[in-house]
């Protein structure tokens, strides 16, 4: 089979769609039609992955597709929205059949993991880049935003940090033990979007963000949106064991500015923390309290009892 733009769409992409009832029409028309269920709000988010920036061109196309889906799903998780549909804008240097088959396999498996329907897109020629627009649903007025944190709220993260950023900084490292390389690359390529937190976040959280750029940069976005400051407890920041192993006393600074983990950072009122802890346990989930929201602005970190240092938010920026 030699692929053309149209056989690619018909033979590879169409079978990815789930034909869910809320999709009135999907791939094949000039636009997709969706019926939003009554009582829900529609949430929309876009993320682009550019070759050489977000992934390397020689990576397995299966992984590239998985990651493109995952980073978009993570944005829905951060908003406490159920992901439902995506469109895919694909720019390709050529119609390479093997590459595209592996890409579509990764796309399909990732989308189906979270029951997300591919409803349309665009296919163009140019330097390799992948843009997904994801749409999700949240019960009316229950989407979680960055702007709801209040002084006194406890700041939590959903998992250990730093492994994905360490994988990036070790891409060229030749003497990395293969078993460590495997663990780190898995964290970079197959992070788990925290969809398992949707209900809990809706019930308990006041604000949330996913950690894509770095803990301090992303927490700072949340603080600015909420009009508050924050103080972190250095010892409470959960470091991935390999980050501690390789970076030792530099580990905390590294996770403050290292992104790509896609854990959630969120806030819960101190008065609800006990009840929240019980709810986490019931669901077999673990989160780590790392600090507290304060009045005012800016980030601080307690490094020892009574010793607090100012933090300059740092993380990945494109420009
Ligand atoms: P148009 O010329 O109207 O933009 P296209 O020929 O680009 O239409 O696309 C034909 C159909 O295939 C449309 O329904 C479009 O949504 C879908 N489509 C095109 N490219 C992709 C893609 N990369 N992923 C999913 N659907 C796609
Ligand atoms: Mg088009």
Which residue's C-alpha comes closest to atom 16 of ligand 1? 120
- Write out the two tokens for 252: 């905390």
Provide the pLDDT for residue 1: 61
- Tell me the average pLDDT across 163-180: 95
For 295-314, the pLDDT digits (tens) are 999 999 999 999 999 999 88
- Write out the two tokens for 255: 């996770």
Ligand 1 pocket member 118 (CB < 6 A) = yes
Which residue's C-alpha comes closest to atom 22 of ligand 1? 121
For 231-274, the pLDDT digits (tens) are 999 999 999 999 999 999 999 999 999 989 999 999 999 999 99
The Å distance, Cα 236 to ligand 1 centre, comes to 48
pLDDT bracket for residue 315 (50, 70, 90): confident
DSSP 154: E
- Tell me the average pLDDT across 207-227: 96
Question: Is residue 254 within a helix (H) or strand (E), and if so which, with residue range?
Answer: helix 251-257
Which residue's C-alpha comes closest to atom 24 of ligand 1? 121
Angle formed by the axes of helices 97-113 and 61-78, nearest 10°: 30
Ligand 1 pocket member 30 (CB < 6 A) = yes
Provide the pLDDT for residue 316: 76
The Å distance, Cα 10 to ligand 1 centre, comes to 10
Model confidence at 2: pLDDT above 90: no
Q: In angstroms, rounded to a whole number, what is the distance separating the alpha carbons of residues 2 and 198? A: 43
Provide the pLDDT for residue 28: 93
Which residue among 5, 27, 86 is best mutated to probe the pocket of ligand 1, counting the most ligand atoms within 8 A of its Cβ?
Answer: 27
Provide the pLDDT for residue 127: 96
The Å distance, Cα 88 to ligand 2 centre, comes to 11
Residue whose structure tokens are 């720019």: 91
Is the Cβ–Cβ distance between 89 and 122 less than 8 Å? Answer: yes
Ligand 1 pocket member 10 (CB < 6 A) = no
pLDDT bracket for residue 19 (50, 70, 90): confident
Dihedral (Cα; 140, 142, 145, 147), 10-degree rounding: 100
The mean of the pLDDT values for the chain is 95
Which residue among 116, 123, 124, 125 is best mutated to probe the pocket of ligand 1, counting the most ligand atoms within 8 A of its Cβ?
Answer: 123
Phi, psi (5° rounding) for residue 262?
60, 25
User: What DSSP line would sit under 115-127, residue for residue?
Assistant: TPEEEEEEEEESS
Q: Is 9 exposed, middle or buried (0-12, 13-18, 19+ CB in 10 A)?
A: middle
Taken as a whole, the chain contains a residue count of 319
- Write out the two tokens for 41: 């709000």
Ligand 1 pocket member 28 (CB < 6 A) = yes
The Å distance, Cα 121 to ligand 2 centre, comes to 7
For 85-138, the pLDDT digits (tens) are 999 999 999 999 999 999 999 999 999 999 999 999 999 999 999 999 999 999
Q: In angstroms, rounded to a whole number, what is the distance separating the alpha carbons of residues 136 and 76? A: 7
pLDDT bracket for residue 228 (50, 70, 90): very high
Is the Cβ–Cβ distance between 119 and 86 less than 8 Å? Answer: yes
The Å distance, Cα 55 to ligand 1 centre, comes to 24
Which residue among 119, 121, 134 is best mutated to probe the pocket of ligand 1, counting the most ligand atoms within 8 A of its Cβ?
Answer: 121
Ligand 1 pocket member 95 (CB < 6 A) = no
Q: In angstroms, rounded to a whole number, what is the distance separating the alpha carbons of residues 269 and 74? A: 23
């Amino acid at each position: 089979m030699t692929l053309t733009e149209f056989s690619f769409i018909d033979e590879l992409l169409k079978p990815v769609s789930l034909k869910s009832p809320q999709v009135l029409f999907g791939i094949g028309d000039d636009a997709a039609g969706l019926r939003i269920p009554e009582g829900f709000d529609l949430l929309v988010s876009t993320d682009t992955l550019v070759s050489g920036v977000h992934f390397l061109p020689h990576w397995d196309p299966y992984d590239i597709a998985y990651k493109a889906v995952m980073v978009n799903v993570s944005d829905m998780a951060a908003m406490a929205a159920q992901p439902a549909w995506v469109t895919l804008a694909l720019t390709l240097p050529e119609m390479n059949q093997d590459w595209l088959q592996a890409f579509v396999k990764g796309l399909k498996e990732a989308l189906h993991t979270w029951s997300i329907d591919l409803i349309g897109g665009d296919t163009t020629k140019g330097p390799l880049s992948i843009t997904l627009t994801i749409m999700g649903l949240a019960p009316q007025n229950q989407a979680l935003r960055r702007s709801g944190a209040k002084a006194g709220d406890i700041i939590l993260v959903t998992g250990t940090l730093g492994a994905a950023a360490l994988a990036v900084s070790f891409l060229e490292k030749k003497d990395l033990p293969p078993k460590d390389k495997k663990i780190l690359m898995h964290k970079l390529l197959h992070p788990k979007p925290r969809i398992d937190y949707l209900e809990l976040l809706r019930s308990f959280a006041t604000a949330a963000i996913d950690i894509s750029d770095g803990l301090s940069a992303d927490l700072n976005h949340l603080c600015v949106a909420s009009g508050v400051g924050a103080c972190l407890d250095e010892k409470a920041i959960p470091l991935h064991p390999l980050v501690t192993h390789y970076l030792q006393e530099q580990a905390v600074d590294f996770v403050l500015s290292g992104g790509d983990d896609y854990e959630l950072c969120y806030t819960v009122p101190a008065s609800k923390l006990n009840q929240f802890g019980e709810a986490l346990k019931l669901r077999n989930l673990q989160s780590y309290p790392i600090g507290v929201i304060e009045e005012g602005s800016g980030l601080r970190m307690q490094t020892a009892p009574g010793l607090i240092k100012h933090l300059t938010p740092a993380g990945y920026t494109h420009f």
